[in-house]
Amino acid sequence: MSIPRPRDEPWLDDDAGRLVRPYTVSNGRTRPTTKLDLLSMVMTTGRVPQAHLEPDHARALGLCDDPTTVAEVAAHLKLPAVITKVLLSDLVDCGAVSTRAPGPAADPTDRSVLEAVLDGLRRRL
């Protein structure tokens, strides 16, 4: 059993999983400073943070090169959503990431929405 220990990756064990408790990743914080929903979109701004980034912050930032939801970032980091929200809000606070609230849900009876779904299904078949 090997434990990879590169500087920019969290300590993981193939069998045990993450060796660092999630609350230590956020320094015990459970409330993000930025309001984020699981479907909020996050994306890098191109601004380089002045402070040194912790490994999980750096990984989260790397996942946000393209617009990505908070839920997707949490899944890739293998962290609870609340901890991921804290990490992302830290990145928002230092200007490295911007957020956009999820748009309103589409009207399921809107003909254009139904046609778009039908066209998408036809392309996949």
Task: Identify whether 71 is part of a domain.
Answer: yes
Task: Identify whether 93 is part of a domain.
Answer: yes
**How high is the mean pLDDT of the chain?**
79
pLDDT of residue 28: 63
Task: Identify whether 7 is part of a domain.
Answer: no
- Structurally, the chain folds into a number of domains equal to 1
State the DSSP H helix or E strand holding residue 68, giving kind and residue range, or none if neither: strand 68-69
Task: Identify whether 109 is part of a domain.
Answer: yes
pLDDT of residue 5: 39
pLDDT at 4 over 70: no
Task: Identify whether 6 is part of a domain.
Answer: no
pLDDT at 110 over 90: no
Residue span of the structural domain in which 101 resides: 12-124
Task: Identify whether 87 is part of a domain.
Answer: yes
Task: Identify whether 5 is part of a domain.
Answer: no
Over the stretch 28-76, which tens digit does the pLDDT of each residue have?
666 788 899 999 999 999 888 887 788 888 999 999 999 999 999 999 9
- 2: confidence class by pLDDT, cuts 50, 70, 90: very low
Surface-to-core class of residue 98, CB atoms within 10 Å of its CB (0-12 exposed, 13-18 middle, 19+ buried):
middle
- Rounded to 5°, angle at Cα 101 from 99 and 102: 130
Task: Identify whether 20 is part of a domain.
Answer: yes
